[in-house]
Amino acid sequence: MLEVSQVRIAREDWALDYDFQLERGAILTLQGRSGAGKTTLLMLLAGFETPDRGDIRWQGRSLLPLAVAQRPVSMLFQDHNLFEHVSVWRNLGLGMGRQRTAAWEQALRDGAEALGIETLLARMPATLSGGQRQRVALLRTLLRPEPLVLLDEPFAELDPQTHALAGQWVRDTARAAGKTVLLVTHHAQDVALGDRNQVLGD
């Protein structure tokens, strides 16, 4: 279970408060106006921001003492965060180490086909469109071993048909792997992907 307990982060001109629980294996969609704290929540969970008070616990253990690399978190950033000097295939495998098994490679190929990027694996990121880069980053994020997945506007650059296919793939893949997902979106149709929806800033 993910427990976000009486968390507050404040700056000179704003303050954000969070308090909720999410069962392991559930998908939570997050909506809200610009500045409501959607991305900030993901950054707190990943360790890129530090709360002024409160606690964030995963499976009963506080995440606050843990560095970013130690947290059980895989995050998709809005800027995709691909490494430009290596191929798509190498981007997908970075950091996997011994977990890069035959089963993982098959899951990667299946996911690439489902997302329509199977012909792009040998390409360099600089040659890809924004939507293609987004799908590569989405595939990499979901296939990592971490159980907690944070997706910040994962479908923002996709056309409606690809958006629908990618959304269903995210849901199916997360379900099959038992991932817990927080998905920030401004698209109303994405609410159907989640077990719960939370509107921040209301």
pLDDT at 202: 62
Q: For the chain, what is the mean pLDDT? A: 91
What are the structure tokens assigned to 17, written together? 């408060």
Sorted by where each starts, the structural domains of the chain and their CATH numbers stand as 2-200 (3.40.50.300)
Q: What are phi and psi of 185, to 5 degrees?
A: -150, 150
pLDDT confidence bin for 170, thresholds 50/70/90:
very high
| C-alpha to C-alpha distances, 110 to 6, 72, 97, 134, 139, nearest whole angstrom | 40, 24, 20, 17, 10
pLDDT at 180: 97
Higher model confidence: residue 129 or residue 81?
Answer: 129
List the one residue out of 63, 25, 170 whose CA is nearest residue 185: 170
- pTM more than 0.85: yes
Q: Cα Rg for the chain, rounded, in angstroms?
A: 17
What DSSP assignment string belongs to 50-113?
--SEEEEEETTEESTTS-GGGSSEEEE-TT----TTS-HHHHHHTT-GGG--HHHHHHHHHHHH
Instruction: Tell which wins on pLDDT, 34 or 177.
Output: 177
Split at pLDDT 50, 70, 90, the class of 133 is: very high
* Residues 6+ away with beta carbon under 8 Å from 119: none
Q: What is the mean pLDDT of residues 76-92?
A: 85
Q: What is the band of 190 on the pLDDT scale with cuts at 50, 70, 90?
A: very high
* Percentage, residues of the chain above pLDDT 70: 97
Provide the 3-class DSSP secondary structure of residue 173: helix
